[in-house]
Amino acid sequence: MRTRESILAHVLSGMTGLALWTMTAIVTGKREPWDAETYWTVSYPLAVFGSVILGFLFPERAWRWAAMLMLMQFVVMIAMGSGLGLWPLSLIVLAVLTAPAALAGVLAARLRRSGLFGAQPADDL
């Protein structure tokens, strides 16, 4: 069952990913953000940090927010005119890049549920 909170988290993670990857592509002039050095030094760390924030704010199945945020990069690559010839490989690479962000989001969710911040424990998986 979808709750308002879940829908809000989906929208926030999708819009954050779309904005981050679009800005990276525009600023660097690359159709695929990961082709730019800025991606690895600024954009990807920001995506992981965004996953932490989203996981903390929306701890229920927190890995979803990282997946949505990271996979929006594929949407941006297609919109920017990247070819579809290597799309299966692109999705595999994005899945690998999603793993650290998802782990960070899940750890942030567990931190919130630990009660250190006055939050009530809740199930996330």
Which DSSP category does 118 fall into?
Answer: S
Polymer length of the chain: 125
pLDDT by residue (tens digit) across 29-86? 988 888 899 999 999 999 999 999 999 999 999 999 999 999 998 888 888 887 778 8
pTM equals: 0.85
Q: Which residues contact 1 (CB under 8 A, 6 or more apart)?
A: none
Give me the residue spans of the domains in the chain: 4-112
- DSSP H helices, 2-125, are 4-28, 37-38, 44-57, 63-79, 87-113
Q: What average pLDDT is seen over the chain?
A: 88
Asked whether 69 and 16 are in contact (CB, 8 A), the reply is yes
pLDDT at 100 over 80: yes
Q: Helices 4-28 and 44-57 meet at what angle, rounded to 10? A: 170
